[in-house]
């Protein structure tokens, strides 16, 4: 049987699809990239934003309309496996054969087999306090970077976020299982690893914290760069920044989601830090690692966010001057504290106005910061031959996570190269070999 997997959402979901592929491979279920040739289709879903549910429902119907659609076994896996049914209401039947939540991937071979015999939907969506898939070596598609989850779940319960409900409580993998996997990745030709967790600062395994783990991973032979995502600003220890400063293999970039610039909104979001705590943290990080790349996430239009409170987010962006900011309009997620307690009372029009304003501000900041690099020599890890625009170009990232389009040279994927930056937009740098 051939299985086609379609993945939505964040890097954790991409990584989970690689785990699923490994589990299915072990059960002699082959992967295909073409849904028309598949006997089984799995849709790995994201529950973080509202429109994702609708997209998945439309996609399920589209897949059922393929020439092979009526006979194939269709499963919804990942974060929406339980929530989707509730969201649709009890009476609406989706043409799905089975659902498997993020802690039930080991049951997929059984579900796929049973789905053929049973005529009713099958569910495996229980959350586990222990599952980390530590013993499974994900079936990756190759390339330069490998994702590796060091922990799963989240205990923070930010009021807007569905993750603790969809992915359960925090649990960390043993450092031994992680370093063994990274050594194997290096032997398989990967030269960069990105450590993943819903909140990596919560990583704990016996005496090991995240800083100790990061240092250990960065010293593994063959691994040129280590990245991680995402930390929570509430518990970012300074000794982690010191480890980042000391270890050349750890990339000098932190994605630090601030979400809002107003103390009242941060409190309603249950972020447990204030604007001033956040600004102090940024100052300390920049003092220890001057020039570090900083990026963030922002939510606009959180329930009750007044124009004045939005202005505080605007001014925070002006003050910090992040290298990039990902701006999202608030959408209510069923079951979260915000959905239960607060009215989603900022209009769609106002949310989009606020997001346009922030994007324009950030684009200006990003462009200014990128243009300041013109003429500089930057070290880039070559990650991909060919770009969307040209097969003659290559692309990669700087240590502090700026995307660079590499032009006018022969670049080998996996190599570190020095290029001179000769052009920049708000989103990319362009470089060529220095003369």
* Residues lying near ligand SF4 in the complex (CB under 6 A): 154, 156-158, 161, 163-164, 198-199, 232
Nearer to ligand SF4, 150 or 161 (CB): 161
Minimum distance from residue 185 beta carbon to ligand SF4 (Å): 25
The whole-angstrom separation of Cα 82 and Cα 116 is: 21
Nearer to ligand SF4, 85 or 232 (CB): 232
The whole-angstrom separation of Cα 225 and Cα 254 is: 14
Tokens of 35: 């849904």
Nearer to ligand SF4, 63 or 166 (CB): 166
The whole-angstrom separation of Cα 68 and Cα 355 is: 42
DSSP H/E element including 22:
helix 11-26
Minimum distance from residue 352 beta carbon to ligand SF4 (Å): 22
Nearer to ligand SF4, 232 or 252 (CB): 232
Residues 6+ apart with CB under 8 A from 76: 42, 43, 45, 56, 60, 84, 94, 96, 98, 99, 100
Nearer to ligand SF4, 131 or 311 (CB): 131
Minimum distance from residue 198 beta carbon to ligand SF4 (Å): 4
Residues 6+ apart with CB under 8 A from 288: 238, 241, 242, 245
Nearer to ligand SF4, 201 or 407 (CB): 201
Q: Report the DSSP pairing between strands 151-152 and 171-172.
A: antiparallel
Closest C-alpha among 15, 13, 32 to residue 140? 15
Indicate the angle between helix axes 275-288 and 238-246, nearest 10 degrees. Answer: 20
Minimum distance from residue 159 beta carbon to ligand SF4 (Å): 9
The whole-angstrom separation of Cα 340 and Cα 345 is: 13
Nearer to ligand SF4, 152 or 253 (CB): 152
Minimum distance from residue 157 beta carbon to ligand SF4 (Å): 6
Q: For 295, phi and psi rounded to 5 degrees? A: -130, 165
Tokens of 273: 């830090």
Strands (E), 46-186: 73-78, 98-100, 122-124, 145-149, 151-152, 171-172
Nearer to ligand SF4, 180 or 297 (CB): 297
Minimum distance from residue 257 beta carbon to ligand SF4 (Å): 7
Minimum distance from residue 328 beta carbon to ligand SF4 (Å): 11
Minimum distance from residue 154 beta carbon to ligand SF4 (Å): 3
């Amino acid at each position: 049987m051939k299985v086609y997997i379609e993945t939505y959402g964040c890097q954790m979901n991409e990584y989970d699809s690689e785990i699923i592929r490994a589990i299915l491979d072990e059960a002699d279920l082959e992967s295909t990239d073409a849904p028309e040739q598949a006997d089984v289709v799995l849709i790995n879903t994201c529950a973080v934003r509202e429109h994702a549910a609708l997209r998945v429902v439309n996609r399920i119907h589209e897949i059922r309309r393929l020439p092979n659609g009526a006979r194939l076994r269709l499963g919804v896996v990942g974060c929406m496996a339980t929530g989707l049914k509730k969201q649709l209401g009890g009476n609406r039947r989706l043409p799905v054969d089975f659902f498997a939540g993020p802690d039930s991937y080991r049951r997929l071979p059984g579900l796929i087999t049973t789905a053929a015999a049973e005529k009713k939907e099958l569910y495996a969506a229980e959350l586990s306090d222990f599952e980390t898939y530590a013993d499974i070596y994900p079936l990756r598609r190759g390339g330069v970077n490998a994702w590796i989850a060091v922990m799963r779940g989240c205990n923070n319960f930010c009021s807007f976020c569905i993750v603790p409900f969809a992915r359960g409580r925090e649990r960390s993998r043993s450092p031994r299982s992680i370093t063994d996997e990274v050594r194997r990745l290096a032997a398989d030709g990967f030269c960069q690893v990105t450590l993943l967790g819903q909140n990596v600062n919560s990583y704990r395994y016996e005496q090991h914290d995240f800083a100790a783990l990061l240092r250990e991973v960065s010293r593994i032979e063959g691994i040129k760069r280590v990245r991680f995502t995402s930390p929570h600003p509430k518990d970012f220890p300074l000794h982690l920044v010191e480890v980042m400063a000391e270890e050349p293999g750890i990339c000098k970039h932190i994605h630090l989601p601030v979400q809002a610039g107003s103390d009242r909104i941060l409190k309603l979001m249950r972020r447990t830090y204030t604007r001033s705590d956040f600004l102090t943290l940024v100052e300390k990080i920049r003092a220890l690692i001057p020039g570090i790349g900083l990026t963030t996430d922002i939510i606009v239009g959180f329930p009750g966010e007044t124009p004045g409170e939005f202005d505080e987010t605007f001014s925070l962006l002006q003050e910090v001057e992040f290298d990039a900011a990902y701006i999202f309009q608030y959408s209510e997620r069923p079951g979260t504290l915000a959905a239960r307690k607060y009215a989603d009372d900022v209009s769609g029009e106002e949310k989009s106005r606020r997001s346009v304003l922030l994007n324009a501000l950030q684009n200006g900041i990003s462009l200014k910061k990128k243009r300041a690099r013109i003429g500089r020599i930057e070290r880039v890890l070559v990650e991909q031959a060919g770009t969307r625009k040209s097969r003659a170009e290559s692309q990669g990232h700087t240590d502090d996570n700026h995307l660079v389009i590499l032009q006018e040279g022969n670049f080998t994927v996996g190599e570190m190269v020095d290029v001179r930056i000769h052009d920049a937009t708000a989103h990319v740098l362009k470089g060529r070999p220095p003369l």
